[in-house]
A and B are shown apart, each in its own frame.
Chain A
Amino acid sequence: MSAKQSAAAVDVLTKDGIGRAELFSLALALMFGGVLLTGRAEKLWAQQSWLAVILAVVVGLIFPLLLAAWVRLFAGQSMGQSLQFVFGRGAARLLLFILAVLWLVQMAAAVTCAAFFWADLGAQSSALLLYAALFLLVAACFAAGGGIALGRVALLVVCPALVLVFANLLLTVSGADKGNLLPLILPDYTVWPDALMGGLLVFGNLTVLLPFFYHTEAVKNQTAVIARAAVWLGLLWLIFSLCAVAVLGAALPLYDFPLLQIFRLAEVGNWFSRFEVMGAALLLMVLLIRASVQFAAAVAVLAELWRLDKRQQIWLLVGGIAGLIWLLLAVVRHYGGDWSVLLWFGVNILPWLLLFSAVVIPVVTILGAWLRLRLLGRTVVIRHSYRD
């Protein structure tokens, strides 16, 4: 894998000059997934969920550090080159392939979550086609125009989505029974496994940005943006969790997506309501953006592995997305409103996959590189600026 070919494959984050606000939004979209929407922490821990969320955020903040360490060590290297430096050519190619598959599975989970989120609103799955088509457009823009297209879409969607979420929380929390936050008991140690899993499921998705961290000089500044996004997401998660418990009280476990119920409850007098329609549309887009980044990451590593040119990448994207839409509609039709199987997958299988792709591979690679660099008497693999 030559540096030139790799650069052509993965130059999406920096060469196009993605702005901080865009990357910030993209990182938020990556983390804002099923765990937050399904209110997993609140359902499991109710009034004690604040502690589970704080622990999860503390655990989750490891991932921006992981990205920063990766960028520092593998200056100017593509993902394939970085893995090759540590594991050798054959193992690196195998790991690239495994990562692509894992990211595709994560993406399928994100899209299916989006489908059920949509179905929970009572909407017809056929209406989802409209959003799926938009998803196709975004991903095609991403492939053709680079990361800036996706970053801008994320900025346009994530900001209004957050504004809407906070507006609805304000409208509902003001009339909520604050006593729902009681009793304040400290839970026992059993909160730890769930907190760890929550941190992994929410913040672990950040490592999907690894294939795009190629040109280090510009990317170095971006890791701080991602760390800030992680902190903000943690705060958002905590606020949302507390508000959901206060607003929905003991009825919270009844709802697949507590946030949708909060949207339903928000009203201005009797004349302005039904916020859930636009809320669901915006949050659905956030989920689809997340899925498209995961998909693009998979395509980027496959392109590096198979040495595909830009045009072939686009075909891979479009073909893959067409297949995904078909899969999505088939899943929704098959399971109808019953998504317990997918919930089971999300709770029992997905964390292990994420553990491998977001923790094991990056940590082992970083440790391996650090040891090898110490033996070589260097601090970074290579210094390189994309303008060189």
Chain B
Amino acid sequence: MKNLRVLVAWCCMLLPLLAGCDLTGDLKDVEMVRALSVDIIDNVDILDSADKVEAQENSSMISAAVHLLHRDRALEGQYAESYYQLTAEGDSLAAALGQLYDVGAKQLNFSHTSLLVLGEQAAPTEFWLDYALRSPQLRPTVYPVVCVGQIEALLAADEQTLSPIYLLNNLSEPMGSSYPGVFGVSLQDFVEDFYQTGIAPALPLVEKTADGVAAAGLAVYAGDKIALLTDDDAVLAWQLLVRTPYLYGMVLALDDGVAVRLQGGQIFIRLQPVDRAEDLRPVCELELQADILNNPAGLDTQQVRALLNERLQQILAVGMAKSRRLQADFLGIGREIWRKQPHIWPQIAEQDYLSGITVDLQTEIELNAD
């Protein structure tokens, strides 16, 4: 029996060796896909009103590109050319990816793919979500991002700039942490919100800048429409309320030239039991830890805390106003009502409930002057 126990212990210890890739064949025939990009190439009507984009389905060809790491060039510091890409077209994402083998792809392996870059027109879920969910290779931890305009323009880079794929990776997992940042919305996170009651799921929006690529806002999925949200404070509101566990490293600029760097935080949305929808008054209890990064006016901690509190109130107000205007609950207030006052939810589910709700913010800020 003792020997058997030793054997079982050995089996448990050897288990991790079974994890990892399941590649067969020669490694030189395997191409590790770092990013997958999807775009629409023609025949899509765009209804551009304010900041809304609506894409018509069933009248478009899908262009899929895989971005592969060019190791030699990466080592030589040829940043812009570190990644090379193969592109193919098809009437669905699966068909387009199948076509890649006709344009010279070897054995494509998606198990290390970390990015799913969606063109503005390819952002509607009917173009990519089904494939992403069904693909046995594409990880649920992959980060989908939506780019402003065409992907081709986003990913084009000068010789001296860093590869856009590298920059996008860094945006999702800042500072090489290997853990998601505020913009690192994984496919699993998105799908959970997509099927969740009372929240409009959102993906990060990225755009081409002079230095490469940068976050440009949010693509909010409101029913069958996608709203591109570029208002800074509305995006900050989403980060504070929905992405609270990932705030580490985020810098907030306050009045008087003061800046603080957030070290972490947590949020609890409290709802008192009520019988009528009109009596709902959610209270967001936000706990933040932050370092004072810049304080040219020499304000004391209490004053900086007051400034930060004021700024947070302003951010929430803008976020709620935007949410009401778009009629898209990207801050997840409805989800909290459904979770904590489920008997109220049926009364308001079909209504524009955001207009009738006032959200209060209570903050508890731990400031580090060092």
Contact = CB atoms under 8 A, between A and B. Distances in A.
A183 B339 contact: yes
Contact of A281 (B1, B18, B191): B18
A277 B339 contact: no
Measured as residues with beta carbon below 8 angstroms from the partner, the interface class of chain B is: 35 or more
A252 to B, nearest CB: 9
B111 A249 contact: no
B8 A274 contact: no
B12 A160 contact: yes
Nearest to A253: B195
B72 interface: no
Contact of B342 (A122, A177, A185): A185
B116 to A, nearest CB: 15
B195 A261 contact: no
A278 B22 CA distance: 10
A182 B340 contact: yes
A121 B136 contact: yes
B196 A249 contact: yes
B303 to A, nearest CB: 34
A185 B196 CA distance: 17
B178 A274 contact: no
Nearest to B173: A270
Contact of A251 (B114, B178, B188, B197): B188
B141 A277 contact: no
Nearest to A264: B140
A239 interface: no
Interface string A231-260: 000000000000000001111011000000
A274 B111 CA distance: 8
A388 B16 CA distance: 48
Interface string A265-284: 10101111111011001000
B353 to A, nearest CB: 17
A90 interface: no
Contacts of B297: none
A177 B16 CA distance: 27
A3 interface: no
A272 B8 contact: no
Nearest to B15: A160
**Of residues A19, A164, A183, A272, which shows the largest number of chain B Cβ atoms within 10 Å of its Cβ?**
A183
A179 interface: yes
Contacts of B197: 250
A277 B195 contact: no
A152 interface: yes
A159 to B, nearest CB: 5
Given A156-B11, A159-B8, A250-B192, A261 B140 contact: yes
A183 B342 contact: yes
Given A121-B136, A183-B342, A265 B188 contact: yes
Interface in B1-18: 1, 4, 7-8, 11-12, 15-16, 18
Contacts of B191: 251, 254
A130 interface: no
Given A159-B12, A265-B141, A248 B192 contact: yes
B340 A251 contact: no
Contacts of B196: 249-250
Contacts, number: 91
A19 B339 contact: no
A183 B178 CA distance: 33
B8 A155 contact: yes
Contact of A160 (B11, B139, B188, B192): B11
A345 B321 CA distance: 52
**Of residues B18, B193, B245, B336, which shows the largest number of chain A Cβ atoms within 10 Å of its Cβ?**
B18
B50 interface: no
B139 A273 contact: yes
A375 interface: no
Contacts of A249: 192, 195-196
Interface in A138-196: 152, 155-156, 159-160, 163-164, 175, 177, 179-180, 182-183, 185
A156 B19 contact: no
B19 A273 contact: yes
A254 B139 contact: no
A269 B179 contact: yes
Contact of B11 (A19, A159, A182, A185): A159
A156 B9 CA distance: 9
Given A261-B140, A264-B140, A270-B178, A164 B22 contact: no
Interface string A17-58: 001010000000000000000000000000000000000000
B192 A164 contact: no
Contact of A264 (B12, B20, B139, B193): B139
A275 B141 CA distance: 13
B338 interface: yes
Nearest to B137: A122
Contacts of B18: 277-278, 281
A127 to B, nearest CB: 10
Contacts of B139: 264, 273
B1 A19 contact: yes
Nearest to B332: A179
Contacts of A183: 338-340, 342
Interface of B: 1, 4, 7-8, 11-12, 15-16, 18-22, 111, 114, 133, 136-137, 139-141, 173, 178-179, 188, 191-197, 245, 335-336, 338-340, 342
25 contacts: A21-B1, A122-B136, A155-B8, A156-B7, A159-B11, A160-B8, A160-B15, A177-B192, A179-B339, A180-B192, A183-B339, A185-B342, A248-B192, A251-B192, A253-B195, A254-B195, A264-B140, A265-B140, A265-B141, A272-B16, A273-B20, A274-B22, A277-B20, A277-B22, A278-B18
Given A183-B340, A250-B192, 19 more contacts: A122-B136, A152-B4, A155-B4, A155-B8, A156-B7, A156-B8, A156-B11, A163-B15, A179-B339, A182-B339, A183-B339, A251-B191, A251-B192, A265-B140, A270-B178, A271-B178, A274-B21, A274-B22, A281-B18
